[in-house]
Structure 1
Amino acid sequence: MLWTMPAAAQPPYAKWGQIAMQQTMKAYPQAKIIDYLHVGRKIKTPTTSEETFKLLLQQGNRVWALLVHIEFETKTEKLLRIRFEETR
């Protein structure tokens, strides 16, 4: 279970961070998330934005970083696409 802050205390990217962690756990079910960083938001088009998170994963002796890119409609916050990118 993920810990959550009261809604008033949450940063604007909190919703997307929870989605990033949930989708990572689905895509990498054997790995543990051992660290989390909000990289930032960028405007992709006049109507879409992308939040990026860097998660540090561990599975056995292997530790690696995963960038999670979440693209969504800026006004409606409708989720459009999630993309994973393994990195250092």
Structure 2
Amino acid sequence: MKKFYLMLALLFVGYMVPVHIANAGQETPAYAKWGQLAVKEVQAKYPTAKIIDYLHEGKEVRGASTIEKFKLWLKQSDKEFGVYVRISYITASQEIVCIEVQESKEDA
């Protein structure tokens, strides 16, 4: 019976180690918090649309503030379109100053 439990434990450990190693190199990007906020804002503005893709376009530092830039691709009925989200915040305190959501003029 001990052999059975030992084999079971070895199988469990053998299964878990590769999963842990595979995820070890992945860090949460610095913009993740702002990306979640961008997604929430778009979902609020377009509640019937499905978000099909997401891109962090970078950030812009302007003095004491930062602007995080995102583009999300949405599908609503048979229409696909892009939406730009710009989140401005005070860099030191991370206090949000403004969130702009603007539909793309070109097709996504």
- Alignment TM class, shorter chain as reference: 0.7 to 0.9
Q: Which runs of 5+ in 2 are unaligned?
A: 1-25
User: Where do 1:51-66 residues align within 5 Å?
Assistant: 51-66=68-83
Structure 1, residues 43-64: CA drift from partner, whole Å, max 9, x if none?
Answer: 13x1111000000001010100
What's 1:28 paired with?
Answer: 46
Q: Following the alignment from structure 2 to structure 1, what is the Cα–Cα distance between the partners of residues 102 and 31?
A: 19
Higher relative contact order (CA 8 A, sep 6+): 1
Alignment of 1:39 with 2:57, yes or no, is: yes
For normalisation by structure 2, the TM-score amounts to 0.71
**Which has the larger share of strand?**
1
Find the structure with the greater CA-based Rg: 2
Identity of aligned residues (%): 38
Alpha-carbon RMSD: 1.1
Aligned-pair distance for 1:86? 1.2
Which blocks of at least 5 consecutive residues in structure 1 are unaligned? 1-7
Higher helix share: 2
The separation in 2 between residues aligned to 1:57 and 1:82, in whole angstroms, is 18
Following superposition, the deviation at residue 71 of structure 1 comes to 0.3
Is structure 2 residue 86 aligned with structure 1 residue 84? no
| Amino acid in the other structure paired with 2:75 | Q
